[in-house]
Amino acid sequence: MLQQVAIIQEDEMKKATGKNEKDVRLQKVAAKVIRRNLKGLKRLSKN
């Protein structure tokens, strides 16, 4: 389920990349943060 959420968020970001460079940069950072959070949640869920 978490992976689906991340994929949906990334798709939304790709759709919105036509705005301006600042937004694109923020979206790239957000995508990295989302992926990092997912990795952390996966690690925690194993315990």
Domain ranges of the chain: 2-46
Whether the CB-CB separation of 10 and 31 falls below 8 Å is answered with yes
**Would you write out the chain's pLDDT as a tens digit for each of its 47 residues?**
677 766 777 777 666 555 667 777 888 898 899 889 888 888 888 76
Q: State the pTM of this model.
A: 0.45
Amino acid identity for residue 27 in this structure: Q
Instruction: Count CB-CB contacts under 10 A for residue 45.
Output: 8
Q: Which residues contact 29 (CB under 8 A, 6 or more apart)?
A: none
Amino acid identity for residue 31 in this structure: A
3-state secondary structure of 47: coil
